[in-house]
């Protein structure tokens, strides 16, 4: 899914809340020419039962963003808590009551020619209504891309640097034109890294496996949430280890994870069925747990969500009792 926004949308730009139509940068901006920006992606989910909007792990996202900005020597100048407050205020000003995607973007802002960056930087935050990124309810058909993942010593992909996403864009474009739903990229060693915009998980013999962070993958916040849910709530053995391409073809279950895609099952890979071609049992259970967690329905994981309208103090959302869910 591609999402554009109304020009009346209120965004945070230049230290102020302004209509999107007024948030503009010049064509000589360093980041626009050389990809020297660092972005984040954060989700907020609307829960009809509690009439509340829950931002998922915003502090973790802003901590990661600030760290990653440091790789490009950009200092956003605000704490993660201050950035969370701006985000809440943005949602309130737009009176959002729907699922959202939040896009913080810090960038080298000098307007001149010349690749060597200086210290001029700026940042903006936009939040916009956003539904499903990939229609994955029936499972996806993923394809291994002929484009290799960018190496850490070329452009660190853990950093969500704008320029590195040309790699994801090339892979996504090719794979979609070839009829697949999402690209899987290998690194220069031939190991599986991740999807173009998401991390990858495989289940083999009841074990949940994902590539380690040193294999040129983004250190996904959805990834770490899923590892925790699988380990603590489903008692699954979990492993972070390299995955060979051919393991994708013999996996019991496969799925992708990320802020935009959520938890997206993969039922075919490179024209081969994953197991019997149906969404696997572990994937279904994890998907339900993850959805309950992001909607603020799991008391133990309420720490992961930030309510925007503060209804939690006034009413208690329908809370799922983990002891009595069919997750074992």
Catalytic residues: 160
Q: Interacting stretch for ligand PLP, rule CB under 6 A, among 80-88, 121-129, 221-229, 317-325? A: 221-229
Where are the strands (E) in the chain, listed by range?
Answer: 10-13, 16-19, 37-39, 42-47, 52-56, 100-108, 121-129, 140-144, 182-186, 192-195, 199-204, 207-210, 238-240, 253-258, 262-269, 272-273, 305-307
CA-wise closest residue to 93 among 12, 6, 4: 12
Identify which range of 104-112, 195-203, 242-250, 306-314 contacts ligand PLP by CB under 6 A: 195-203
Tell me the CA distances in angstroms from 275 to 66, 75, 235, 279, 306, one per residue in order.
41, 47, 22, 9, 38
φ and ψ at 129, to 5 degrees? -55, 135
Shortest CB 164 distance to ligand PLP, Å: 8
Q: Confirm or reject binding of residue 194 to ligand PLP (CB under 6 A).
A: yes
Among 198, 229, 243, 267, which residue interacts with ligand PLP (rule: CB under 6 A)?
198
Cα 119 off chain centre by: 28
Please pick, from the candidates 221, 264, 266, 286, the single residue that binds ligand PLP as defined by CB under 6 A: 221
Residue 220 interacts with ligand PLP (CB under 6 A)?
A: yes
The sign of the dihedral angle between the CA atoms of 264, 300, 294, 183 is negative
**Shortest spacing between CB 309 and ligand PLP, in angstroms:** 24
Contacts with ligand PLP by CB under 6 A: the residue count is 14
Residue 144 phi, psi (nearest 5): -80, 125
- State how far Cα 188 lies from the chain centre: 24
Q: Cβ of residue 308: shortest distance to ligand PLP, in angstroms? A: 19
Q: What is the torsional sign of CA 191, 280, 233, 320?
A: positive
> In the set 259, 265, 294, 301, which binds ligand PLP (CB under 6 A)?
259
Write the binding mask 116 to 145 for ligand PLP: x where contact by CB under 6 A, - elsewhere: ------------------------------
Tell me if 280 contacts ligand PLP by CB under 6 A.
no
**Helix, strand, coil percentages in the chain from 3-state DSSP, rounded to 5:** 30, 30, 40
Q: Interacting stretch for ligand PLP, rule CB under 6 A, among 68-76, 85-93, 194-202, 283-291? A: 194-202
Binding mask 13-42 for ligand PLP (x = CB under 6 A): ----------------------------x-
Residues that bind ligand PLP (CB under 6 A): 41, 168, 194, 197-199, 218, 220-223, 257-259
């Amino acid at each position: 899914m591609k999402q554009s926004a109304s020009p009346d949308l209120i965004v945070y730009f230049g230290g102020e809340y302004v209509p999107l139509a007024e948030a503009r940068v010049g064509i000589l901006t360093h980041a626009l020419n050389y990809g020297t920006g660092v972005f984040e992606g954060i989700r907020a989910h609307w829960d009809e039962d509690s009439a509340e909007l829950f931002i998922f792990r915003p502090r973790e996202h802003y901590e990661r963003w600030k760290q990653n900005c440091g790789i490009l020597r950009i200092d956003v100048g605000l704490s993660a808590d201050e950035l969370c407050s701006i985000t809440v205020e943005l949602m309130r000003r737009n009176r959002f009551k729907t699922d959202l995607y939040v896009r913080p973007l810090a960038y080298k802002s000098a307007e001149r020619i010349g690749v060597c960056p200086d210290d001029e930087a700026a940042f903006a935050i936009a939040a916009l209504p956003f539904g499903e990124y990939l229609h994955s309810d029936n499972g996806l058909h993923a394809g291994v891309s002929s484009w290799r993942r960018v190496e850490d010593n070329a452009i660190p992909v853990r950093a969500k640097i704008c320029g590195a996403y040309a790699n994801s864009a090339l892979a996504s474009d090719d794979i979609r034109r070839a009829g697949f739903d999402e690209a899987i990229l290998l690194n220069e060693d031939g190991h599986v890294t991740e999807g173009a915009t998401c991390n990858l998980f495989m289940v083999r013999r009841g074990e949940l496996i994902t590539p380690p962070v040193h294999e040129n993958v983004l250190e996904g916040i959805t990834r770490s949430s899923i590892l925790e849910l699988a380990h603590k709530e489903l008692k699954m053995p979990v492993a972070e280890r390299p995955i060979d391409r051919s393991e994708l073809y013999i996996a019991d279950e496969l799925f992708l994870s990320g802020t935009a895609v959520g938890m997206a099952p993969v039922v075919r890979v490179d024209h081969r069925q994953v197991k019997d071609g149906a969404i696997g049992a572990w994937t279904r259970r994890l998907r339900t747990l993850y959805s309950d967690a992001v909607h603020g329905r799991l008391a133990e994981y309420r720490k992961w969500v930030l309510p925007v309208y503060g209804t939690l103090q006034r009413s208690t959302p329908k809370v799922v009792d983990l002891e009595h869910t069919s997750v074992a």
